[in-house]
Amino acid sequence: MEPQGFTLWFTGLSGSGKTTCSRIVEKELRARGHKVEMLDGDVVRENLSKGLTFSKEDRDINIRRIGFVCEILTRNEVIAITAAISPYRAVRDENRARIGRFIEVYAKCPISVLAERDVKGLYKKALAGEIKNFTGIDDPYEEPLNPEIVIESDKETPEQSAQRIIARLEEMGYLRRSNGASKNA
């Protein structure tokens, strides 16, 4: 069955563990011999979507661009991993429909925990009204309705989350079951 590309789409609020967990999954997939590309939301915004604002329209454009790149990678037997807030359900669903082999990972974490772990203090500033249009505070974040995988970074370590993701991908038939050769996840 392998190799076949697919898109592993991490969504969740800022600081919810998307990038940390996705990097661990990326490392495990590479150790298993897969072609993998990581598209981190912050890096994409700097290189592919520079100049876009944080308006709803520009956020949608950014997420559609990421989806377009994921579609190309998936079609070419690459595993595309995306870690982007992607706050609007409709655009995530558009990408799911466009890509087909799309697995949504919801990195769920309460805002109270995110504010505590936020070294830049952005949540506290947003909660105090000092930052406007902050996703999850005064700008919406639409939780996924039926994600294939939910990780809870306030209840499990990034390594535990990554192990659960790999196990779910095996269960869904996207990956062969490991013989225990790699213990990176």
Active site residue 86: yes
Encoded amino acid at 67, one letter: G
Q: Is residue 156 exposed (0-12), middle (13-18) or buried (19+ Cβ within 10 Å)?
A: middle
User: Catalytic: which of 16, 22, 86, 153?
Assistant: 86
Residues known to be catalytic: 86
